[in-house]
Amino acid sequence: TSSHSILSRRSATSTTSSRASSPIKRERGMRYADDLPLLRRSLKDPRLPARLGPLLKDVRAVSTKKHIMPLALKEEIEALYSPFEAISDDMFFGGEDDEDESEDGHNQSKVVKVNDDHAKRHRDRLWQLGRICDGTEECSDPSRQTFEVEWNDVVHSPMLRLACRQQSSLRCRNLTSVQVDGRYGDAARTVRRGGGGAATATLCDCRIDFGIFLAPPEKSDLQYRIFDLMSRDVDQVRQLNHLNAFEPDWPLAVSVETKRLAPGVEKASGQLASYGRAQLRLMQQFPDPQVEETREKEPAERGIRGGSETILPQLKVVSAQWELSFIVREGPNAVAYGPFGLGNTASLSGCYQVFKSLCILFRWAERECYDWWLRHISVT
């Protein structure tokens, strides 16, 4: 029996038992882990990676709910929703999306056709976000028994897929039945001896609900490099995510864990942290050639300089509430920064806020993920 098979079986057993383990013990286990111990920091921490500044600024601007809904549908939106929520004029943006506006007057028929397409797209989006808003209300009804799978079906998955479709290279996949590859998960790791509470700490693998993956464009430089990687000798790492036999040529760009507001919701943050650390272990197998060259010229005690370049976005969704966090490789540690609220789908304006925030995040994650792998996959 290969060591890989043993680790995979151990991962599967640990994943099942992790549902009953204490979140406190699991958090303690990650904190005292021998490999990639976990630290948690606020987004206000001065050590926050500078590359996150512009992203958080853009997402924070959406939190004001200004200019998030199309002016062309103002009357329709007010007629349907204003009796139930405060809809103000500054929530609307004029005309079309900024990038869609055209000042070219020499081809009026073309402009009219484009405007018609924009109007249809905005109306379709209103219909979809309206359904998500209505689904949130139905799932939140205290007189009904609603399970997490229903929240996922009518609220979480539709929102994720709607935002994901705005980026041509991203794919949203359900991961509830997908296990972590035993070579990268926590189940095969140990906890450091000593330290307060380390004796009662536990480590185990976790599953999450959704993943946003990068599917590189056809004939792109990254796709060529991935094809080259997959054709190499079997003893080399030939997968771009930390999952067990699942889309090995797709890197994971964003991890998503969803819960309903019920006992067990406190496990979500620990699940994402464990998942992110497994992803970081896989990505460690692909060193940055430029960083490696620099490290050879510097003292060994400087540590892993390239680790801080690895930033993994994570989403925690509890019923209607959406939160963003990040897990970052900093030297020997995995550092979780967050959370940052993205909005609530209990209102139509909240649905637009979440949608716009996810579009900003996914656009950033698509570019970040593409650039990272392009830099780290060498061509033979």
Q: Give the domain range for residue 248.
A: 3-66+157-376
Has residue 17 been placed in a domain? yes
Residue 124 lies in a domain: no
Please state, in angstroms and rounded to a whole number, the distance separating the CA atoms of residues 114 and 83: 32
What pLDDT shows up at residue 104?
36
Angle at 174 between CA 172 and CA 177, to 5 degrees: 155
Beta 38-41 vs 321-330: how paired, if at all?
unpaired
CA-CA distance, 233 to 171, in Å (whole number)? 28
Q: Which two tokens stand for residue 366?
A: 């698509």
According to DSSP H, which parts of the chain are helical?
Answer: 3-17, 23-31, 52-62, 74-81, 108-139, 148-151, 157-164, 221-230, 268-284, 289-296, 348-376
Q: Does 246 reside within a domain?
A: yes
CA-CA distance, 359 to 160, in Å (whole number)?
9
Q: What is the pLDDT of residue 303?
A: 35
Cis omega (within 30 of 0) for bond into 339: yes
What would the pLDDT profile of 155-166 be if each residue is shown by its tens digit?
999 999 999 999
Contact call for residues 325 and 60 (beta carbons, < 8 A):
no
Is 224 contained in some domain?
yes
- Give the residues of the chain that fall short of pLDDT 50: 1-20, 96-114, 296, 299-308
Phi and psi at residue 38, to the nearest 5°: -90, 135
Could you tell me the pTM of the whole model? 0.86
Q: Specify whether the CB–CB gap between 209 and 160 falls below 8 A.
A: no
Has residue 316 been placed in a domain?
A: yes
Q: What does the pLDDT read at residue 260?
A: 93
Would you state the pLDDT for residue 95? 56
Rounded Cα–Cα distance for residues 54 and 36 (Å) = 27
Residues 6+ apart with CB under 8 A from 208: 175, 176, 255, 256, 257, 271, 272, 275
Average per-residue pLDDT for the chain: 85
- Give the pLDDT score at 103: 35
**Which residue is it, tokens 């599917």?**
215
Task: Report how many domains make up the chain.
Answer: 1
- The pLDDT assigned to 3 comes to 43
CA distance 188 to 181: 10
Question: What's the pLDDT at 197?
Answer: 55
* Four-residue CA torsion sign, 116, 65, 318, 11: positive
Residue given tokens 């909005």 in the structure block: 343
For 222-268, the pLDDT digits (tens) are: 999 999 999 886 666 789 999 999 999 999 999 999 999 888 889 99
pLDDT, residue 292, reads 55
188-192-195 Cα angle (round to 5): 145
CA 276/CA 311 separation, integer angstroms = 10
What is the Cα–Cα distance from 377 to 289, expressed in whole angstroms? Answer: 9
d(CA 142, CA 140): 6
Q: Hunting for tokens 């349907």 — which residue is that?
A: 80
In a domain, 168, yes or no: yes
DSSP string, 323-338: EEEEEEEETTEEEEEE
Query: Domain for residue 119, yes or no?
Result: no
- Name which of 188, 139, 170, 182 is nearest 33 in CA terms: 188
Residue 201 resides in a domain: yes
Give the pLDDT of residue 166: 97
